[in-house]
A and B are shown apart, each in its own frame.
Chain A
Amino acid sequence: MRPRMLRGLVANALVAVLAALTLLPLGWMVTVSFMPRGEASRSPPPFWPSRWSWENYHELLVRRLIDGAWFDYRVLPALWNSLAIAALATLLALLLTVPAGYAFAKLRFAGRARLLRLLVISLIVPGQVAMLPLFLILKEVGLVNSYAGVILPSLAGVFAILFVRQAALGIPDEMIDAARLDGASEARIFASIVLPLLSPIVVTLAMFLFLASWNDFLWPLIVLSDQHKYTLPVAIAAIGREHAAEGELMMAAAVVTTLPVLAIFLALQRHYMTGLLGGSVKG
């Protein structure tokens, strides 16, 4: 009994230490963001603020009059841009991919198997290959520097289609056939039978899509040139290039960027984990 108890103690302690180390950077990000300006640039650096202050958030988020001109870091507009873009991208991608995923799983049509194979193959092409020509195409049609240009590539949800298909395969055929015999139209079957059954997976997918859009960096960086249209990551990177030395300010910016997604993740983590695993692990 003795060695087993010792082993349990060691294993639990190791996990706790690993978790603490993992959360340490995030914790420090929060504490530094509340430090008075300049406090983090001391040596040795403090972990805890001498007094909790909102001044970094105030400087970052509030528009002020400096030498007769209005100035702000455009973080709040970027926050709204990110929110609008991520929400719109998520909604549109769901509208496009959920019916498609269901069709690939349950509806019979010519070329289904071949199309499915092509979709799987397309997953191995890295997105960057398509990026440069896509930029030129968007430029031709006047979508560079627009939200539509940022959102468009995220609507080509190959992964999302396959994800929905996998879930839809589990719906019993008898259920759908019974509805057909009762005279329900295909659209009606999708709306009132399939969609409710898929709703947990749709929530999971919505979160994946939202997080991916919120955290995306390279494509918005390429497409957006007007500072007023920047998404949050692009805005933060731009501020960082000038203010990297001002730790407290940058940590406040990082908090503003990470807090919303961490909150969503924590609220929906059960969905997230099962989505990741396809339900194979139980807590």
Chain B
Amino acid sequence: MTRQSRTAWAFVAPVLAIILLVLVVPTALALALSVTDYSVYALADWANLRFIGWGNFSTLLSTPLFWRALGNTALFAAIGVPMAIGTSLLAALLLNDATVRWKPLWRVALFAPYVTSVVATATVWQFLLNTRFGLLNRGLALIGIAPVDWLGNPSLSIPAILLFVTWKIFGYNMIVFTAALSAVPHELMEAARLDGASRWARFRHVTLPAIGPTLLLAAVMSVAGFLQLFAEPYVMTQGGPSQSTVTVLYFMFDEGFKWWNLGQASAVALILFVLILALTAVQARIGRRYEWL
């Protein structure tokens, strides 16, 4: 072993050992755990542990709340991803306009919510969305709309939480899109303008292909992120009203750390993982078709 490689191993070994210990081994164990009936009884005494094969998975499939959680999570992602990415892109396009001044200032202002604590700002939004005392309903009252029970109405709870999530995270993708937009070729844009291409045509044929890869990456990350929603419903609605905001991760947390069905919870975690993997693969395939990858 050369001196250089000895140093290299001294530099990488500690962190690799920790990664192995807290990431790789537990992930492998999760597979093992998911085919056992690990519960409070096994927590007390290992002798109570049994191998049950697909048992956890088949139980989950016949648990209505699990399906509800899957459906809610799908709804969160289906509305949330376009909402969050659309807002980010619009903000980035607006900020990219040559006439806009003080860009660094606006960038910092729009990004600020992203660095805040989810729990703290979810608390703020819980109050903002309050039916009687919330600022949102006060704003709506100004334009003559009657008070809305945002977090108490099962069909509005998901949009209400998404309003908060979008507010919190759009700054991040906005910054990433700003970088991509600054790389859109100027000559191409000028040529399109001279050819009389409309604003929409220029966006569709010049801007979009140039920022495509960035857009795809943002979509992949956002889908994964929205599938992992937990703190927002935990703080704002506690899964309610009538279980309309129980997400997959919320279900996993309750199953695992409230009822101590850790085998069952592991199965949930693995299903979530497979879902994220599958959706990522689908998006990668779509991206490849448009040559964004």
List chain A positions with a Cβ less than 8 A from chain B: 4, 7-8, 11-12, 14-16, 18-19, 22-26, 28-29, 32, 40-45, 47, 96-97, 99-100, 102-104, 107-110, 112, 115, 119, 122, 124-126, 128-137, 139, 152-153, 155-158, 161, 185-187, 190, 211, 214-215, 217-218, 222, 232-234, 236-237, 240-241, 244, 247, 250-251, 253-254, 257-258, 261-262, 265-266, 269, 272-273, 276-277, 280-281, 283
Contact = CB atoms under 8 A, between A and B. Distances in A.
A253 B123 contact: yes
A174 B14 CA distance: 28
B9 to A, nearest CB: 6
Contact of B15 (A47, A157, A280): A157
Q: Please classify the interface of chain A as helix (H, G, I), strand (E, B), loop, or mixed, using the class held by over half of its residues.
A: helix
A257 B119 contact: yes
15 contacts: A7-B99, A11-B97, A103-B12, A128-B252, A128-B272, A153-B23, A156-B19, A186-B4, A186-B7, A240-B235, A254-B124, A261-B117, A262-B112, A262-B116, A265-B115
Interface size class, chain B: 35 or more
B18 to A, nearest CB: 5
Nearest to B7: A186
A273 B107 contact: yes
Contact of B106 (A15, A97, A134, A139): A15
B283 interface: no
Q: Please classify the interface of chain B as helix (H, G, I), strand (E, B), loop, or mixed, using the class held by over half of its residues.
A: helix
A19 B16 contact: no
Contact of A100 (B4, B11, B94, B111): B11
B8 interface: yes
Contact of B269 (A132, A139, A261): A132
B230 interface: yes
B243 interface: no
B15 A161 contact: yes
Given A12-B99, A157-B15, A217-B119, A25 B23 contact: no
B270 A25 contact: no
B215 interface: no
Nearest to A248: B127
A19 B182 contact: no
Contacts of B135: 24-25, 28, 45, 47
